[in-house]
Amino acid sequence: MKKLKALLLGNCNRSLTDNNSPMKQNTVFSSPRTKLNGKNKLNAMDNNIDILEINGKLWHNTKLLPVEDIKELIEQKRYLKADQHLIKLEYQCYSSDSIEKDEDKLKMEQEVESLYEHLDSAITTVLKTSMSISKENPDLLKMVVQFRIQEEKMDQTYQEEAKRKSGRIPKARPRGWKNKWLNILQQSVDERISKIPNASEDNKINWVIQCLGQLLKELKEDVDTIVNHVKPCYPEDYNICKTYADCYQKTISSRLTVITENELKGKDLYTLLRWIYVHYPGVMSTLTQTEDADQKLWRDLLSQEMINQMENGYISAVQTDAKAYMSKSLQMEEMNWINGKEPLMFQDCYHSELPIDIIQIFDGGAREASCLTPDLNNRVLGIMLDEMMCFLESFQESVKCFEKTYLDHENFISTMILVNNICESFREYLNKNGKITNEVKENALSILNKMEKNGKDVLQKSLFCELKPYCKFLITEKWVSHPEPINNILEITQRQLIKFRKLKAQQFQGLLEEIHEQLIAEYISRIMKRKLSCKTEDQQKAFANQLEKEDHQLQELFSVNGSRAVGLATALPYISEIIRLQDVNAIKMEVGALIQEFPDIRKQHVAAILYIKKNMKKSDEKDILHIIKELLNYGTDSSTSKTLFSNAAVLKTL
């Protein structure tokens, strides 16, 4: 008790319990109150006491103030001074040699506790209004913080004294201002953050957005005040930002729990999850400077079970919405196919909004999820990829159905061109999007490849159905002297190519190459049918010249239309030269060159070509055919060789 007494009252020569002490002569409770001359008199007396510093320094002895003067200190918001006098009064009350009568002692205790209650109430008021006080009167908040430091020091001093010696400790000690402080701050935060209003029919649509928006607004304002105004009023080791963060965590958790008790739909779930994962940590991270702060913040807001339930509900909603939107977009596209109108044009090509819609749906879902957690992002991305594959399969079936049902539709060809352009748009997107896994990309491209091939086949068939009456006159006896077939073929092909130019560049180039190859294959297949033979050298030269001329005409046609695959035209000049030549060795050289260029040629093909040379000896023909096997076994450069004789039309004639 001596150490405590020394701390409170100073050295023994100046003790309040000394014979010359005013307290010994007449206690402050029993003596009439000395009338103070207003605030100045109180200030003059109070300034005689050094401000308490909790660093072990002794207080100087001074005359204790009467109860009414201490009350006046409290009312003047001079809480630290008031507390210093209360600490001395409290000790005076509980010291064994200060009060002799139990009644006086009881009255003194009541007076002390009454003063403490009055002071506690004032401190509580300041704490509960810390946000505004820290801006308007920061010194007052700093004083209140010093009050807590002072009180906690006294709690510690009493407890240490009790451990060393079974001394008496006031019933109210320790006063536990740390826990009181936390409770007051928690209460103030609860009062500052608005309660969640009930959802009604009037505000049901935007209820979640409005609630979370209000929460975020209040939270931002308070955090800004805490960091810039409240924090400077506290010692650094109090870590007041972390204390406030814990308070807001509890309050926000309770508010969000109220929201989750309502039936939330997809968009509401996303809004809530994003608030939890993004907005809330973004604001609160300034209060919690730890590596795992963000994760700890949202993990503690709601139970893991509730978080899982919301995430699963959100993913389910994403899948449902994606499926519905993609299906609706496809239905609208199907309606456009059969409405009798020509497709839209964009950059001289047929254009559809379908790829744009589907890609936006896919990217929108993936982009939303990327704002949440990596795990949710991956799960949503997987769902969106599955829906993309389902859409492509549905798209493929829709095109097949259109082909079967609307073959005679006036816009059938235009629609098939449009379909290939749609496929090209999807292909471009798949190749550029690095988020799409290789497995999904391969499966998607496989569907698109089949659709594009089918589309090109349809366009080719439409062309060759029109060309068929003229192609059947090729490589016949009338063909050499009548140019009508090739003229009609060129005219019809040019007219159709103008339509086909509505394809995207990549698609058009591929189709040009296939049509060019197919036309050359028509010539070769006619040769394979062996319907024409030339008995004389002049007839063979005329055949060769006509074949070479038409080859040039075809090459010019495709060159004018932008074909980059001119190498396909080289087969007919080789054949022309074989027919024109009469020397066996020269023919062998030309056959060898043809084999080198087109390694898919076989003995039957060469035999059909030689059939035209009716004047060739059987032995010479046999000699020429004999070298084919050797040449094929010798091999060719696969990087530069071409295939033409394995064309389906050519093989069919064999």
Q: What is the mean pLDDT of residues 38-61?
A: 41
CB 323 within 8 A of CB 387: yes
Q: Which residues contact 352 (CB under 8 A, 6 or more apart)?
A: 333, 336, 343, 344, 418, 421, 422, 425
Question: pLDDT class for 414, splitting at 50, 70, 90?
Answer: very high
- Whether pLDDT at 385 is above 80: yes
- Whether pLDDT at 460 is above 70: yes
Which H or E element spans position 344? strand 344-346
d(CA 384, CA 204): 29
* More confidently predicted of 327 and 68: 327
pLDDT of res. 61: 54
pLDDT of res. 286: 84
pLDDT in tens, 586-645: 999 999 999 988 888 889 999 999 999 999 999 999 999 888 877 777 655 555 567 788
Report the SS3 class of residue 223. helix
pLDDT in tens, 473-519: 999 988 988 888 999 999 999 999 999 999 999 999 999 999 998 99
pLDDT in tens, 97-118: 544 557 777 888 888 889 999 9
Query: What global pTM score does this model have?
Result: 0.77
Q: In the numeric block, which tokens belong to residue 348?
A: 């001289």
Q: What is the mean pLDDT of residues 264-286?
A: 90
pLDDT of res. 25: 32
- Whether pLDDT at 525 is above 50: yes
- Whether pLDDT at 471 is above 60: yes
Q: What is the mean pLDDT of residues 522-543?
A: 93
On average, the pLDDT of the chain sits at: 84
Q: In the numeric block, which tokens belong to residue 369?
A: 């999820």
Q: What is the mean pLDDT of residues 192-214?
A: 82
Question: Domains in the chain and their CATH numbers?
Answer: 2-189 (no CATH), 205-302 (no CATH), 310-454 (1.10.357.50), 472-653 (1.10.357.70)
- Whether pLDDT at 144 is above 70: yes
* More confidently predicted of 23 and 104: 104
pLDDT in tens, 317-346: 999 999 999 999 999 999 999 988 899 999
Residues listed for the chain: 654
Q: What is the mean pLDDT of residues 61-70?
A: 78
pLDDT of res. 107: 81
pLDDT of res. 568: 58
Residue 406 φ then ψ, to 5°: -120, 35
CB 553 within 8 A of CB 490: yes
Q: In the numeric block, which tokens belong to residue 531?
A: 């319907």
- Whether pLDDT at 230 is above 90: yes
Q: What is the mean pLDDT of residues 202-223?
A: 88
Q: What is the mean pLDDT of residues 257-265?
A: 90
Least confident of 34-38, 132-136, 296-300, 462-466: 34-38
pLDDT of res. 598: 87
* Max mean pLDDT range (165-174, 296-305, 528-537): 528-537
Least confident of 62-76, 189-203, 329-343: 189-203
- Whether pLDDT at 56 is above 50: no
* More confidently predicted of 40 and 395: 395
Q: What is the mean pLDDT of residues 121-140?
A: 95
Question: pLDDT class for 426, splitting at 50, 70, 90?
Answer: very high
Report the SS3 class of residue 350. strand
Residues of 208-226 as b/e, b for ≥16 C-beta within 10 angstroms? Answer: beebbeebbeebeebbebb
